[in-house]
Amino acid sequence: MSSTQSLQQAYQKKRAYNHQDRVRRRSFPFTCLTNLVKESLIHDYVVKPNLLVAATKPSRILDLGCGRGADFNRFERALPGILYTGIDMSSNMLTQSPFQNHPRVRLLLLSHENTEMPPADVIWSFLGMQNACGTTEKMNEVLRRAWDCLSDGGVFLGAIPHGTKIIHDLERLCDPSQPFCFERTTNRFADEQWYTFTLEDAYEKLPEAAISPTTLQECAEQIGFGVEMFSFSEYIARSGQDPSKRHIRQKLLDHVKHADWATHLAAYYMCFALKKPRSLEPKKGWSSSKGLL
């Protein structure tokens, strides 16, 4: 069985739990930290620099690994009138989307490892790209297709788990004697996890899903992207000192009692901003993929 097939089989069964009572979950503080990172990234790299002022109207957002497509709301609030395309490998997740019939939302059951990417002004992949980029070759292919589909001056924005770091620390992350502990497997009787997808699923059964931030940076720079990368921990601290994002922090974090383990976990996730320059010429020696939209 190929790595692509094993990934697709694992993700086909992925589903979202009912989240009406999500504030009771132990993972809720980390969910809030994650939402802060999402909204801050959109604010810093799309809204604040007026990235899409000169872009094709309406703005086109491509979400790789979109899940239920919930981030449509974030972009719609920031950029009213967007056209949103979401791609995901899980039919379960897509069929639970509240935006299935929205006139400006298109949800596609595909693997972004081998699918053509439609034209976009912003590509967004928040903890989704690693599912198709477990090798340097796959990483290069996804980034090259991202370059091709991005508009001049566009940005590929999102986050990845520091897969190699998680694998290195997996035993400690799952050790119940440690102050910060994850469930290695799903607790079927507790409304604890947002997804039925665990550390064991992601990093022991699917080692090809691990991704190195260093590899991402090197591949992106070779293609021609301007690259910024930083951990959730760094970004959360930086965002907390930015007066222009005070409203975001107040909305998402002021009512949350932070769990120490959530802050600890933030060191295992990385943000990235890959900026395509205004010049359309890639670096010397790089040839564009053919046949893409």
Distance CA 208, CA 219 (A): 17
The verdict on residue 184 lying in a domain is: yes
Nearest to 184 by CA among 210, 204, 214, 209: 204
CA-to-CA distance for 176 and 78, rounded, in angstroms? 41
Q: Which domain covers residue 178, as residue numbers?
A: 3-275
Give a yes or no: residue 282 inside a domain.
no
3-state secondary structure of 190: coil
Average pLDDT over residues 15-44: 71
For residue 200, is it within any domain?
Answer: yes
d(CA 279, CA 264): 40
The predicted-structure confidence for 235-253, as pLDDT tens digits, reads as follows: 888 877 788 777 676 665 6
Nearest to 69 by CA among 39, 101, 38, 100: 100
- Cα–Cα distance, 271 to 234 (Å, whole number): 10
Q: What is the pLDDT of residue 76?
A: 94
The pTM (predicted TM-score) of the whole model is 0.80
User: For residue 150, is it within any domain?
Assistant: yes
Q: Say which CATH number the domain at 221 has.
A: 3.40.50.150
Q: How far apart are CA 289 and CA 26, in angstroms?
A: 44
**pLDDT per residue over 57-101, tens digit each?**
789 999 998 989 999 999 999 889 999 999 998 888 898 899 999
pLDDT in tens, 113-147: 667 899 999 999 998 776 667 678 888 999 999 99
Residue 292 lies in a domain: no
Q: How many domains does the chain have?
A: 1
pLDDT over 80 at 209, yes or no: no
Q: How far apart are the C-alpha atoms of 123 and 120, rounded to whole Å? A: 6
At residue 243, what is the residue type? P
